[in-house]
Amino acid sequence: MQFNRILLKLSGESLMGDKQYGIDEKRLQEYAEQIYEAAQTGVQIGVVIGGGNIFRGLSGATKGFDRVKGDQMGMLATVINSLALSSALTAVGQENRVFTAVRMEPVGELYSKWKAIESLERGEIAILAAGTGNPFFTTDTASALRGIEIEADAMFKGTRVDGVYTADPEKDPTATKFKTITFDEVYNRGLKVMDLTATTMCKENNLSIVVFDMDSYGNLKRVLEGEDIGTLVHV
Ligand SMILES: Nc1ncnc2c1ncn2[C@@H]1O[C@H](COP(=O)(O)OP(=O)(O)O)[C@@H](O)[C@H]1O
Ligand SMILES: O=c1ccn([C@@H]2O[C@H](COP(=O)(O)OP(=O)(O)O)[C@@H](O)[C@H]2O)c(=O)[nH]1
C-alpha cells in the first residue's frame, strides 16, 4: 500500500513514558524526530493526539465530575499535548500548525478541512487538537473523523501494543497477533483495540487502520516503507 497522506493517532497515555502523569520530554522528542523523519520521505501527516496522560472525562465522571465538563477538560488536555508536540516539532526543524476543533485563537487556528489540507500540501504537519470538539467522543473517533475529512490513505494508530491480537495482549499472554484483519472480524470477535464509534466510522468510509507500536523508535518510518510490523485493519 502506498501512503501519500496519513492521519497519525498518538496515544496521550504513551506520552507519559515512564512517568505517572503528564509529558515525558524524552518520549515527546522521540515522537517529534520520528514524525520529522517520516515527513522527509514526502508523506503528508495529520496528527491527532490523545489526552489520557492528563485527564479523561469518563474517569473524571467516576470521581464526581460532570461528564460534559470532564470531557471538555479531556479535550483541553489534547490541546496541551498538541502544543507540546508542536513545540518539539519546531525544535527539530519541522514546520507545523495547530488547528483546534473549538475556537481558541491564538492558541491554534479553528479547524476546517480545507485549511488543514492546505497546510499539509505546504509540507507542514497539521496537528488537529481538541478531539471532535464534542463530549462523549474519544480521540480515536476524532482520528477517524479527521482521517476521513482530510482524505487520508489510512489512519495510523500508534500505540503501545504492536498490533491487533486475538485478545488483549496486556491481559492474555497466549494472545496471537493478526497481520491483517477485516472490520467485520473485529466486531465478530469483540476485539477492543479501538472504540466501536471509531471502528464503525472507518468501516463505513473505507478508511483502513494500521495499528503499530509507536514507542519503538523508527517504527513510523518502517510502516510507511511497507514493513510488515503492525496489523492492517481493512474493509
Ligand atoms: N485485541 C486487542 N489487540 C490489541 N490491543 C488490545 C486488544 N484488546 C484490548 N487491547 C488494548 O488496547 C489498548 C490500545 O492502546 P491505546 O488505544 O493506545 O489505549 P488508550 O487509547 O486507551 O490509551 C492497549 O492497552 C491494549 O492492551
Ligand atoms: O472528541 C473528543 C475527544 C476527546 N474527548 C475527551 O478527551 C479525553 C482524552 O482523550 P482520549 O481518552 O481519547 O485520549 P488517549 O486515550 O488517546 O490518551 C477523553 O477521555 C474525553 O474525555 C472528548 O470529550 N471528545
| Residue 216 in contact with ligand 2 by CB distance below 6 A | no
Sign, Cα dihedral of 3, 16, 149, 108: negative
Q: Which atom of ligand 2 is nearest to the CA of 139?
A: 13
Distance CA 186, CA 234 (A): 10
Q: What is the pLDDT along the chain (235 residues), one digit of tens a residue?
A: 789 999 999 999 999 999 999 999 999 999 999 999 999 999 999 999 999 999 999 888 888 889 999 999 999 999 999 999 999 999 999 999 999 999 999 999 999 999 999 999 999 999 999 999 999 999 999 999 999 999 999 999 999 899 999 999 999 999 999 999 999 999 999 998 899 999 999 999 999 999 999 999 999 999 999 999 999 999 9
| Phi, psi values for residue 91, rounded to 5° | -65, -30
For residue 168, how far is its CA from the centre of ligand 1 (angstroms)?
A: 7
| Residue 139 in contact with ligand 2 by CB distance below 6 A | yes
| Residue 52 in contact with ligand 2 by CB distance below 6 A | yes
Q: Beta strands 125-129 and 44-49: pairing type?
A: parallel
On whether 74 is known to bind a ligand per the annotation, the reply is no
For residue 81, how far is its CA from the centre of ligand 1 (angstroms)?
A: 20
Identify the CATH number of the domain defined by range 5-234: 3.40.1160.10
CB neighbour class for 32 (10 Å; exposed up to 12, middle 13-18, buried from 19) = buried
Distance CA 120, CA 125 (A): 6
Q: Residues, the chain, total?
A: 235
H-run or E-run covering 224 = helix 219-224
Q: Which residues contact 40 (CB under 8 A, 6 or more apart)?
A: none
| Residue 132 in contact with ligand 2 by CB distance below 6 A | yes
Ligand closest in space to the Cα of 169: 1
Closest C-alpha to 127, from 210, 13, 49, 12: 49
Q: Which atom of ligand 1 is nearest to the CA of 191?
A: 1
Distance CA 173, CA 30 (A): 28
Q: Are 177 and 231 in contact (CB under 8 A)?
A: yes
Ligand closest in space to the Cα of 143: 2
| Residue 14 in contact with ligand 2 by CB distance below 6 A | no
Distance CA 8, CA 46 (A): 6
For residue 35, how far is its CA from the centre of ligand 1 (angstroms)?
A: 22
Helix axes 196-204 and 139-149, enclosed angle (nearest 10): 10
For residue 235, how far is its CA from the centre of ligand 2 (angstroms)?
A: 25
| Phi, psi values for residue 175, rounded to 5° | -65, 145
Q: What is the pTM of this model?
A: 0.97
Q: What is the ipTM of this complex?
A: 0.94
Helix axes 139-149 and 113-121, enclosed angle (nearest 10): 70
Ligand closest in space to the Cα of 144: 2
